[in-house]
Every structure is written in structure tokens, then in C-alpha cells.
Amino acid sequence: MPQRRHLAAVIVAALAAPRIAAAQARPVRVIVPFAPGGQSDTVMRLLQPKMSEHLGVPVVVENRPGAGGAVGAGVVAAAAPDGTTLFFDSFGFVVQPLVQRGLPFDYATAFAPVAQVVAAPYVLVVKRDFPATDLAGFINAAKQRQGVPFGSPGIGTVGHLAGALLAHRAGITLEHVAYRGGADAARDIAAGNLDAAISTANSLRPLTLEGRARGIALTSAERRGTMADLPTIAESGFPGFDLTSWNGIFAPSATPPAVVARLEAAAHHAIGDETVRQRLTASGNDPIAGTSAAFAELIRRDGAMVRQLVADTGMRLD
């Protein structure tokens, strides 16, 4: 019986080989499910030239925003599993199954993780005249005011989740204000119209450098990224606190392992380029040359964490 299964696998691979070889000569399109100029779009366009160099074919970035990423995800879920259509998503990938109902595909089974390429630390900042210089002061102010409004890049983002988790563990009230992106929240912080925000270092660091906002703490488990001078929430009295966004590449789920390995190698080639790494770092990202197996485990772990967080806090994701 094992010999028959092995023979069947060999036959299937032999039949698929010509089709895969033909696909490898065609351009690769990468679906980014967000608008041009945002975090995900910026990261993918930095990787694009070096991935194309490694694959030997054009790599074309196609923005398909809508429904928190589900529109773009649907395009890739329905695509041929030959490595010519890829999906470039963020941490929201593990949140969407809890938000979107009635989708014609299942996030858990429709995609094959290829590689994580960056980690994106988030940071809690306050407007410049807010009466707090550290996390203890921020929590005390929230207790005295019976709540503090905080902005995030949107519902279900790391900023939203981190605020809900901090409020739950600190026993305070934080009122979530969902923006359409980190830049919009940053503008209201800079104008003094918003007390606090939790977003990427890329969005908020310029304000702290200009003195228009004050950094309080990082949401990641360890100090990292361009704002590593700030303490983490974990080291400021909440051990185990760890929420970090990421970006990574996915293929349709039935993509052959050899094709996934080829795409993973292309991602590693791009991440290994020193100029690309410098530009990613300058944009507030930590380059990660992750394997497909490690990426799959990250998604499993983050998905379980989000489900537990929603259950513990009762937070709404709609």
C-alpha cells in the first residue's frame, strides 16, 4: 500500500511538472489587499525588484482593497495554484475570519504560507500635553478621567487589539476610535484632537521626533525597531504582553511544495539585499527571512491569541 501511494504521488508530480514549468515562465502578480502607499503596499514594492531578479520574471503588484483585505484574499483563493498569483497580507489575516461572514473561501484552508518578511512593532503614544510620561502615568490618567480615547489604524488591527488587552489587564477604560489608517490617527494626535494612539512606529515616530507627541511604550514582547529606546508594555508591569504586526506572502493552498520553496527563496533573496533591508528598517519594519513552516506556526499562534483575547475582553470586531 505505501508503494502504491508513493507511485501515485510520483505520477501526479510528473503530470503537473510541465504545467508548473510553464507557469514559472509567466509574470507573477502579487495581490496587496490595501490601497497604494500604505504599510503593506510599501513593503511589497520594496521587495518587488529583487524577487523579480531571483525568479527571472516580472513581479507585478496589484492593489485590490476592500472589506478589510477580504476582496484581495478572494482573488488569490480562486487563483490557479501555480505560483503566478500571490497574496501579500498583514496581521489582519488572522482577524478577518472573526469579522467577515459568508465568504466563499476559508482563510484557514485557502492559503499556503510562503514567508514572513517583516515584523512591524506598534507603539502607544500620547499628545504632547497629555499628563503622562510613562505607562504607569498613562494608566493613572485613564483611571482619573474614567476613560481615555485612543486611535488605531482600524478595527481588528494590532493597535485596536493592544488597546483592548491593555484596558483589560490594567482595569481601565480605553475608548477605541477606529481610523482608516495610521496616518489619519497620527494627524489627530499632532493636532491635539486625540489623547492617545496605538499604531506603527512608521506612522507615529515622526511626531515624537518633532515633539508633537510623546512615546509611552511598545506593544511587542521586546524592544525593537526604530523606537527601541522606549520600554515595552511587558516590562512596564504586564509580563507576557506581546502584540506585533507583520507582513507575509501567501500562495493558493494547493500550490506544490516545490513552487512554495521557490517563492520562499525569492523572498529571502529580496530580504537579504542590504539596500532593501535598510529601506525596510527606515520605514519602521524589522526584516524577517522566515521559512514557510515558521510563518505557518506564527499564524496559528496569533490566531489562537486573537480568539482568546476576544473571548477574554468581549471586544467587538464589527
Gap between the Cα atoms of 99 and 190, Å rounded: 31
The pLDDT tens digits for 17-39 are: 555 555 567 999 999 998 888 88
Q: What is the domain partition of the chain in residue ranges? A: 2-19+27-119+244-312, 122-243
Task: Name the one residue in this structure whose C-alpha cell is 459568508.
Answer: 102
Contacts 24+ apart (CB under 8 A), 185-194: 185/151, 185/152, 185/153, 185/159, 186/213, 188/151, 189/125, 189/126, 189/127, 189/151, 189/213, 192/127, 192/128, 192/129, 194/127, 194/149, 194/150, 194/151
**Rounded CA gap, 196 and 149, in Å?**
7
Give pLDDT, residue 314.
84
- On the question of a common fold for 2-19+27-119+244-312 and 122-243, the answer reads yes
Indicate if the pLDDT at residue 5 is higher than 60.
no
Q: Is the pLDDT of residue 8 over 50?
A: no
Residue 72's contacts (CB-CB under 8 Å, 6 or more residues apart) are: 31, 32, 33, 34, 63, 64, 65, 66, 87, 89
Supply the CATH classification number for the domain 2-19+27-119+244-312: 3.40.190.150
Instruction: Give the per-residue pLDDT at 24.
Output: 67
Q: Record the cell numbers describing residue 65, joined without a space.
A: 482593497
pLDDT attached to residue 313: 87
C-alpha distances (whole Å) from 31 to each of 65, 88, 157, 271, 294 are: 9, 6, 20, 19, 22
DSSP symbol at 56: T
In words, the CATH class of domain 122-243 is: alpha beta
pTM (two decimals):
0.84
As a residue count, the chain comes to 318
